[in-house]
């Protein structure tokens, strides 16, 4: 830190930015967080909640309350980082402690995880973080050859049945039909044995979703349009619905994972992780990422494809069909690299709509957060919070940042990938035991590309209608034009 040699004696950050006090306030205890929560969920919505405060204080680093607040979270106070540069503090494990910060200022009851703390809730300094992340990464690497065939089989037949439905009975919603595909795909990619929709039955997806909803409901706005908001607020956001409501569903899931995950559990035991801890981590990693990740990501990707219209469809189908033809019809990891537009479209969807929107971490020590034209001091222990869809639309980094630009990451544009943070790390970084970056990163990008490929191997173009669901867009196919 240095002091500028001008008349103002302004304190400067290590990179020479003036250090300013963080604007914003937390308001009146108890009442302001409740009012803020109503604004966040109902009156303003997530995006407007943050944007209005950025304009009011003319700053992208500011103090504010994040939901849920009372009574679920006693300390809703955060320092919000809402631009592409300041957000980076959350990706730096030497600066933030991520113990119990996955869901922010509240923690779901651990009884939902049979009493354990899953890996995603552990900080990098916890020795169990290293052991568990190594085991899960090992599983991902050992199954890498299963991802493409599993995805093609499950989502291929999903697209076929959507086509049949559109032809026979008209407009067909993607979201409901794809509900079990995310869970089936994850299990087909990672385990031998029957798919959950077969082994547990058709209700497997509902069971998994219900369990996830109990963990995440305090972060989801307008959980239901059916319940008037004050009642919804009281029922969902003020009280944790008792975990016993999902106990029997969780038992069924546990039985399934004990069978299909046998070799993972045995391997984990050999490195000192109990079978109990390994099992509940496996359940968490599979279901949380199927429904908190893939199930949200694909409708967003599809939404942008629908809105891209025939012009984008022509370019994509040409790129995809010509590369796959040159490979005699097979989809290989190498041929995916020869599809620059397909790759760019997937990154652009992840940039605009990172499926995990919120990131949090406690400052490990007193530190300075650098933004574009100022820096700010944060005290040890303060909660830092980032709303990612604002950070990754930052116009100072991305021209027309709010718009979907299909070619954004083609050629020279690849340099911008360092500002794509959906995996809780830069797209140009690698996940490892010393960071909290998603170890499923490459699989997710691959899944996005395979989704676009499966679609355009079948259809030259299509039309659809976009609606809204609590976590994702609702996409209804209206017509599909077969290749
Ligand atoms: C679209 C899908 C996915 C998205 C959006 C996603 C996103 C993320 C994010 C944002 C984090 C960091 C959470 C935080 O601490 O703030 C994370 C961590 C993690 N993800 Fe993913 N993920 C996805 C798919 C997957 C898949 C397929 C796997 C494979 C098992 C996976 C395994 C994990 C694990 C184990 C962690 C914890 C890492 C750690 O604690 O160091 N994810 N993911």
Domain limits, the chain: 2-482
Return the structure tokens found at 279: 């099992």
DSSP 8-state symbol, 21: P
What interface predicted TM-score (ipTM) does this complex get? 0.98
The rounded radius of gyration (Å) of the Cα atoms in the chain is 23
DSSP 8-state symbol, 98: -
What pLDDT is stored for residue 240 in this prediction? 59
**438 belongs to an annotated ligand binding site:** yes
The answer to whether the peptide bond before residue 71 is cis (omega within 30 degrees of 0) is: yes
Cα–ligand 1 centroid distance for 192 (angstroms): 22
Per-residue pLDDT of the chain (483 residues; tens, 9 = 90+): 444 444 457 899 998 999 999 999 999 999 999 899 888 988 888 999 999 999 999 999 999 999 888 878 889 999 999 999 999 999 999 999 999 999 999 888 888 899 999 999 999 999 999 999 999 999 999 999 999 999 999 999 999 999 999 999 999 999 999 999 999 999 999 999 999 999 999 999 999 998 998 888 778 755 545 555 566 666 665 665 666 678 889 999 999 999 999 999 999 999 999 999 999 999 999 999 999 999 999 999 999 999 999 999 999 999 999 999 999 999 999 999 999 999 999 999 999 999 999 999 999 999 999 999 999 999 999 999 999 999 999 999 999 999 999 999 999 999 999 999 999 999 999 999 999 999 999 999 999 999 999 999 999 999 999 999 888 999 999 999 999
What pLDDT is stored for residue 2 in this prediction? 46
CB 72 within 8 A of CB 216: no
Q: Whose CA is nearest to atom 41 of ligand 1?
A: 436
Helix (H) and strand (E) counts for the chain?
A: 17, 13
Query: d(Cα 351, Cα 348) in Å, to the nearest integer?
Result: 5
Cα–ligand 1 centroid distance for 343 (angstroms): 20
What pLDDT is stored for residue 417 in this prediction? 98
Q: Could you give the angle at the alpha carbon of 316 between the alpha carbons of 313 and 318, nearest 5°? A: 105
What pLDDT is stored for residue 42 in this prediction? 83
Closest ligand 1 atom to residue 186 Cα is 27
Among residues 191, 180, 361, which one has the least CA distance to residue 279? 191
Task: Tell which one of 178, 278, 438, 439 to mutate to probe ligand 1, the residue whose CB is within 8 A of the most ligand atoms.
Answer: 438
What pLDDT is stored for residue 8 in this prediction? 54
**Residue recorded with tokens 């359940």:** 283
Cα–ligand 1 centroid distance for 93 (angstroms): 15
Q: Which helix (H) or strand (E) is 37 found in, with range?
A: helix 31-38
CB 455 within 8 A of CB 449: no
Homologous superfamily assigned to 2-482? Cytochrome P450 (1.10.630.10)
Q: Whose CA is nearest to atom 20 of ligand 1?
A: 438
Q: Is the CB of 441 under 6 A from ligand 1?
A: no
What pLDDT is stored for residue 231 in this prediction? 65
Query: What phi, psi does 178 have (nearest 5°)?
Result: -90, 5
Q: Is the CB of 301 under 6 A from ligand 1?
A: no
Q: Is the CB of 289 under 6 A from ligand 1?
A: yes
What pLDDT is stored for residue 108 in this prediction? 87
Query: d(Cα 271, Cα 431) in Å, to the nearest integer?
Result: 21
Query: d(Cα 439, Cα 53) in Å, to the nearest integer?
Result: 34
Return the structure tokens found at 44: 């303003």
CB 313 within 8 A of CB 456: yes
Cα–ligand 1 centroid distance for 357 (angstroms): 12
Q: Is the CB of 438 under 6 A from ligand 1?
A: yes
pTM: 0.95
Expressed in percent and rounded to 5, the helix, strand and coil fractions of the chain are 50, 15, 35
What is the full DSSP assignment across 117-168? Answer: --GGGS-TTSHHHHHHHHHHHHHHHHTGGGHHHHHHHHHHHHHHHHHHHHHH
CB 456 within 8 A of CB 316: yes
What pLDDT is stored for residue 7 in this prediction? 46
Q: Is the CB of 293 under 6 A from ligand 1?
A: yes
Cα–ligand 1 centroid distance for 178 (angstroms): 21
What pLDDT is stored for residue 242 in this prediction? 60
Query: What phi, psi does 14 have (nearest 5°)?
Result: -55, -30
What pLDDT is stored for residue 415 in this prediction? 98
Q: In the chain, what is the straight-line distance between the N-terminal and C-terminal CA atoms, in Å?
A: 62
Query: d(Cα 286, Cα 123) in Å, to the nearest integer?
Result: 20
What pLDDT is stored for residue 238 in this prediction? 60
């Amino acid at each position: 830190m240095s002091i500028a040699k001008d008349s103002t004696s302004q304190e400067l950050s290590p990179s020479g930015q003036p250090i300013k006090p963080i604007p914003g306030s937390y308001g009146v205890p108890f009442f302001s967080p409740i009012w803020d929560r109503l604004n966040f969920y109902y009156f303003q919505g997530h995006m407007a909640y943050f944007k209005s405060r950025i304009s009011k204080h003319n700053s992208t680093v500011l103090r504010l309350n994040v939901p849920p607040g009372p009574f679920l979270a006693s300390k809703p106070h955060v320092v919000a980082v809402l631009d592409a540069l300041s957000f980076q503090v959350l990706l730096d494990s030497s600066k933030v402690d991520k113990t119990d910060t996955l869901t922010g200022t509240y923690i779901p009851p651990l009884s939902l995880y049979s009493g354990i703390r899953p890996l995603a809730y552990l900080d990098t300094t916890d020795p169990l973080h290293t052991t568990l992340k190594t085991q899960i990464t090992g599983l991902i690497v050992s199954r890498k050859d299963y991802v493409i065939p599993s995805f093609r089989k499950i989502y291929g037949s999903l697209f076929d049945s959507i086509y049949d439905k559109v032809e026979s009975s008209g407009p067909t919603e993607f979201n409901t039909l794809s509900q079990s595909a995310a869970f089936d795909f994850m299990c087909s990619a990672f385990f031998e044995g029957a798919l959950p929709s077969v082994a547990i039955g058709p209700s497997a997806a509902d069971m998994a979703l219900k369990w996830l909803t109990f963990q995440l409901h305090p972060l989801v706005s307008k959980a239901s349009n059916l319940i008037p908001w004050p009642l919804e607020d009281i029922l969902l956001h003020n009280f944790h619905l008792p975990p016993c409501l999902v106990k029997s569903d969780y038992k069924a899931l546990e039985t399934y994972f004990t069978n299909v995950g046998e070799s993972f559990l045995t391997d984990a035991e050999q490195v000192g992780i109990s079978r109990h801890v390994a099992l509940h981590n496996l359940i968490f990693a599979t279901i949380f990422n199927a429904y908190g990740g893939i199930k949200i990501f694909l409708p967003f990707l599809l939404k942008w494809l629908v809105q891209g219209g025939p012009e984008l469809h022509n370019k994509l189908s040409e790129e995809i069909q010509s590369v796959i033809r040159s490979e005699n019809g097979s989809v290989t990891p190498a041929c995916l690299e020869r599809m620059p537009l397909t790759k760019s479209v997937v990154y652009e969807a992840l940039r605009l709509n990172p499926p995990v929107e919120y990131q949090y971490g406690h400052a490990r020590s007193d530190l300075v957060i650098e933004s574009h034209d100022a820096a700010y001091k944060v005290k040890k222990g303060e909660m830092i919070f980032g709303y990612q869809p604002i950070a990754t639309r930052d116009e100072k980094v991305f021209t027309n940042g709010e718009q979907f630009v299909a070619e954004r990451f083609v050629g020279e544009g690849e340099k911008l990938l360092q500002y794509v943070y959906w995996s809780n790390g830069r797209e140009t970084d690698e996940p490892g035991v010393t960071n909290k970056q998603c170890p499923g990163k490459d699989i997710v990008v691959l899944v996005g590309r395979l989704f676009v490929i499966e679609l355009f191997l079948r259809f030259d173009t299509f039309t659809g209608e976009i609606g809204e669901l609590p976590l994702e867009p609702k996409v209804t196919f209206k017509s599909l034009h077969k290749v």
